[in-house]
Amino acid sequence: MNIQEEKIQALVDRRAGAKLGGGEKRIDAQHAKNKLTARERLARLLDEGSFEEFDMFVQHRCTNFGMDANHIDGDGVVTGQGTIDGRLVFVFAQDFTVNGGSLSKTMSEKICKVMDMAVKVGAPVIGLNDSGGARIQEGIDSLAGYGDIFERNILASGVVPQISLIMGPCAGGAVYSPALTDFTLMVKDTSYMFLTGPAVVKSVTGETVTQEELGGAGVHSSKSGVAHFSADSEDDAIAQIKKLLSFLPQNNMETAPLRPTNDPVGRMDDSLNSIVPDNPNKAYDMYGIIRSVVDDGDFFEVHKNFAKNIIVGFAHMGGRSVGVVANQPGVLAGVLDINASRKAARFVRFCDAFNIPLLTLVDVPGFLCGTQQEYGAIITNGAKLLYAYGEATVPKVTVTLRKSYGGAHIVMSCKQLRGDINYAWPSAEIAVMGAKGAVGVLKDVTEEEYNELFCNPYQAAQKGYIEDVIEPRNTRFRAIRAFEVLAGKRQEVPAKKHDNMPL
Ligand code: HXC
């Protein structure tokens, strides 16, 4: 071997060393926990051969507690860029085999570097989290590292999509980086998120809980809403993220890619003409309606198990990516409560930030009343959804299927909130309230009289508050044509530093 060959061999060896992370034993331990390593995860997430790693030789600079004798090339995070379905993404994957993936200052610098590049070139950032949190030996440096990442999350928000996969521990202040991103996915049984673990909870509040009960995927995807998705396995998680990306643009200056379809734009579905039951208190299958109107029946739901009284998710219509928001009459009669309002507001804002048009399907009896909701600030939380729809400038197409009463009517993308094209089915009831409530107040009016006058779409149609009353079976065609018409929409908002939405 000549000198140059020796140098090249040294590079090859050093790369191989870095790729082993914390070494075989720790890799085995990771596998024994049903978890993949950082590099194995990236290999599955990214297109084959597309990954380019950055900062493979970066080392931490800590000398406390013997850390000067504990150096692994790359430290506890693998970062770089690659493609998913041919589209550029920036990634970081915390490596639990290196000091439990705990965050050193240099690791944060690696993460910030890919985030900065992502914003500079306009591509999504995907973070794979599996870490014991702040690296204790580094003290305040590690906390500063988290601060740097949080600031990047905030600056990148609304510029490039940010996605967090939780594939192991994520505790303490570390949870706030995923919380600042657009979507969080947790893997069942192997990941958790909480501010403090069960032992601290026990000593502070006396409560006895398991990790899973406190912050597992089940809890956060159904009770708290912290996680938008939960996955049965790491492979399932990665498949879900790839699917999610297929609906998103690369950044806020682009639109999502078109997805060609053979599903005819004018496909009618006669079953929709009879789907709304005669009895206004009976539910029907809102999912069936969504699948019927979107391309190929393909609906990708967000927050599936959280606040089920409202449905949100992505689909394509005529090849265009759209965000769908629909009240769910089958759960709590589709009423808007605190969680439903928060869930839909965040989704509407994401779609608006990333140029994804909104299809809203309305069947809402109103806001949920009572002390629990009032004490939990349904006023402020309901206002979030109102605000989100009212500020959104993406094309907004609304179809009222049945009930659309009172404040909830206004909130659900009505005309006055700059709804662009609003349709109603003949079964629509666009009114201040339902007949029962109304006759309780107006003593000399009968339910029949009230129904006759108000519980239909025609009062709204007469006044131009909706564009048309349409046949249910033709909803797909009408909505797609509306989105086509609106494709060139431009709408200005008054200049301001930023808004002050009710939080
Ligand atoms: C340094 C850490 C570490 C940390 C784990 N390790 N967490 N090293 N700083 N925060 C090391 C362990 O010492 C161990 O090293 C190796 O990683 C693997 O950890 P184990 O404990 O053996 O693994 P496991 O049994 O799976 O337990 C994982 C764990 C546990 C539950 C995450 O390690 C743990 O409780 N870690 C501390 C968590 C924590 O309190 N972090 C600070 C949170 S506060 P060796 O060499 O022995 O194998 C925080 C503030 C953020 O993060 C603030 C942001 C603003």
114 domain-assigned: yes
497 domain-assigned: no
Note the pLDDT of residue 365.
95
Residues 103 and 171 grouped into a single domain: yes
Q: How far apart are CA 239 and CA 370, in angstroms?
A: 41
143 pocket-lining for ligand 1 (C-beta < 6 Å): yes
Q: Checking DSSP bridges between strand 421-424 and strand 396-405, what pairing results, if any?
A: parallel
Q: What is the CATH number of the domain that holds 341?
A: 3.90.226.10
Note the pLDDT of residue 454.
87
User: How confident is the model over 443-482, as pLDDT tens digits?
Assistant: 889 999 998 888 899 999 999 999 999 999 999 999 999 9
Q: Would the pLDDT of 437 be above 90?
A: no
What tokens appear for 464 in the block?
């131009």
Q: Would the pLDDT of 156 be above 90?
A: yes
Neighbours of 7 (CB within 10 A): 11
Place of tokens 């439903």: 340
207, 199 Cβ separation under 8 angstroms: no
Q: Of 245, 260, 288, which marks where a domain is finished?
A: 245
What are the residues whose beta carbons fall under 8 Å from the beta carbon of 353, sequence distance 6 or more?
157, 158, 252
Tell me the C-alpha to C-alpha distance, in Å, between residue 488 and each of 345, 351, 374: 24, 16, 41
The closest of 456, 151, 398, 120 to 280, measured between CA atoms, is 456
H helices present in 193-259, as ranges: 198-205, 211-215, 217-219, 234-245
Average pLDDT over residues 22-49: 98
Split into its structural domains, the chain has a count of 2
Could you list the active site residues? 172-173, 407-408
% of the chain with per-residue pLDDT over 90: 94
Residues 237 and 280 grouped into a single domain: no
How many angstroms separate the alpha carbon of residue 76 from the centre of ligand 1? 12
Domain interval for residue 344: 270-488
265 domain-assigned: no
Residues 299 and 427 grouped into a single domain: yes
Substitution site in 131, 136, 148 for ligand 1 pocket (most atoms within 8 Å of beta carbon) = 136
| Mean pLDDT over each residue of the chain, to the nearest integer | 97
Q: How far apart are CA 265 and CA 263, in angstroms?
A: 6
Note the pLDDT of residue 443.
85
| DSSP, res 223 | I
Angle at 22 between CA 19 and CA 24, to 5 degrees: 80
CA 192 to chain centre: 18
215 pocket-lining for ligand 1 (C-beta < 6 Å): no
User: How confident is the model over 191-207, as pLDDT tens digits?
Assistant: 999 999 999 999 999 99
Region of 209 (left: φ > 0; alpha: ψ -120 to 50; beta: rest) is: beta
Residues 168 and 132 grouped into a single domain: yes
Closest Cα to atom 15, ligand 1: which residue? 99
Residues 223 and 295 grouped into a single domain: no
How many angstroms separate the alpha carbon of residue 99 from the centre of ligand 1? 7
Q: How confident is the model at residue 173 (pLDDT cuts 50, 70, 90)?
A: confident
Q: How far apart are CA 503 and CA 501, in angstroms?
A: 6
Q: How confident is the model at residue 280 (pLDDT cuts 50, 70, 90)?
A: confident
480 domain-assigned: yes
The closest of 454, 351, 379, 366 to 410, measured between CA atoms, is 366
Q: How confident is the model at residue 89 (pLDDT cuts 50, 70, 90)?
A: very high
Residues 31 and 172 grouped into a single domain: yes
